[in-house]
Structure 1
Amino acid sequence: MPVPPQDVTVEQPVPSEGTTAGRGVPSSAPILYRPNVAAIILNMENNILVAQRAGLKGAWQFPQGGVDMGEGWDEALYREVEEEIGLKPENIQILDRKGGYRYEFPKGRLKYGVYAGQEQVYYLCRFLGRDSDVNLNTAHREFDKWKWIRPEKFDMSWVPRFKRDVYLRVFRDFFGMEK
């Protein structure tokens, strides 16, 4: 899978072949994917951090978020992890990154009126802090609970259907698991 270099910045959304027909925009418009980063955070026991979406009981996922225009991929990772779960850059160490994960939002739903889906770079990170460093009481609270679990205990039913193929690939690519 292609891996974005550390110093690459995002200058524009990721275009795709095809059109947005049936998605509420002119059918000649190309499909745009919002650049996105996601963090798989491992503690020293190789458990992964998962967080439950605020107000969505049973919807557990990895911290993730969009890459701002002109922002580097690594920079976006550190910003999103701090915004969503309160961890500072010194609390995590990047071990690996893999790109090219893409999903489309459900038909008829566009993010910010233009994005038909997201193209993600997943980061595998080592947690260097203490559990008390995780803080969900952030300015834009996205999660209401978090926990450490063994990767094999992750349940795909926690993830919306439109994201499941990406999660299946991520678990295969990073952990060698077929879920």
Structure 2
Amino acid sequence: MSKHKDKAKKPSLPYAERPYRPGIGLVLVNAQGLVFVAQRVDTPGDAWQFPQGGIDEGEDPRATALREMKEEIGTDKAEIMAESADWIGYDLPPDIADKVWKGKYRGQKQKWFLARFTGTDSDIDLDTEHPEFCRWRWMDLAETPGLIVGFKRPLYEAVVAEFLPLVREMARRS
């Protein structure tokens, strides 16, 4: 046994000076006009979210959206229909920001995509190489802000405001 205790590395920058991690978010819509949400394996309580993830250096955000979808829910059977007009951000609470991403970021700025799911429910497989979700379901987009962790709620409200008219139009055409 080592005489030295492992000490958590302190973030290199104070919280307010940290940059935002570039990422994407994906609103996946089925033929009935419902959206995919999943429950994270590492978040206590009944918090649900859309697939999302970080953009690798030099990676196109649209390509990231399909890659993250495949990595997180086992399929990339989707067609991107729309992209958010702007990057939408959120701040992590400081105590969480010190732990996540080694304390390098204060939150994320994300480009959001709306995609039509072209597969079937059986194509969705949460048992991926690095599982992030334990359960999933389809639901009405307008209800999603109430299911997300509190610090991401304003971001989800912005995504819903931008994409809800498009989702309703997609459902009418199906």
Q: Same fold (TM over 0.5)?
A: yes
Q: Once the 2 structures are TM-superposed, how far is the Cα of residue 151 of structure 1 from its aligned partner?
A: 1.8
Q: Does structure 1 retain, via aligned residues, the 8 Å contact 2:11–2:102? A: no
| Percent of paired sites with the same residue | 36
Gaps in structure 2 of 5+ consecutive residues = 1-9, 166-174
Gaps in structure 1 of 5+ consecutive residues = 1-22
Which has a greater percent of helix?
2
Q: After TM superposition, list the pairs within 5 Å mapping 1:22-101 onto structure 2.
A: 24-27=11-14, 30-55=17-42, 56-88=44-76, 91-98=77-84, 99-101=86-88
Q: Once the 2 structures are TM-superposed, how far is the Cα of residue 150 of structure 1 from its aligned partner?
A: 1.7
SS state at 1:70 partner: coil
SS state at 2:18 partner: strand
**What is the number of residues matched between the two proteins?**
151
User: What TM-score do the two structures reach when normalised by structure 2?
Assistant: 0.79
RMSD: 2.0
CA gap 1:155/1:115 in 2 versus in 1, 3 angstroms: closer
Q: Once the 2 structures are TM-superposed, how far is the Cα of residue 30 of structure 1 from its aligned partner?
A: 3.9
User: What TM-score do the two structures reach when normalised by structure 1?
Assistant: 0.77
Amino acid paired to 1:106: P
Q: Once the 2 structures are TM-superposed, how far is the Cα of residue 134 of structure 1 from its aligned partner?
A: 0.4
Which has a greater percent of strand?
1
Is 2:59 aligned against 1:106? no
Is 2:128 aligned against 1:123? no
Q: Which has the larger radius of gyration?
A: 2
Q: Which protein, 1 or 2, shows the higher relative CO under an 8 Å CA cutoff with sep ≥ 6?
A: 2
SS state at 1:167 partner: helix
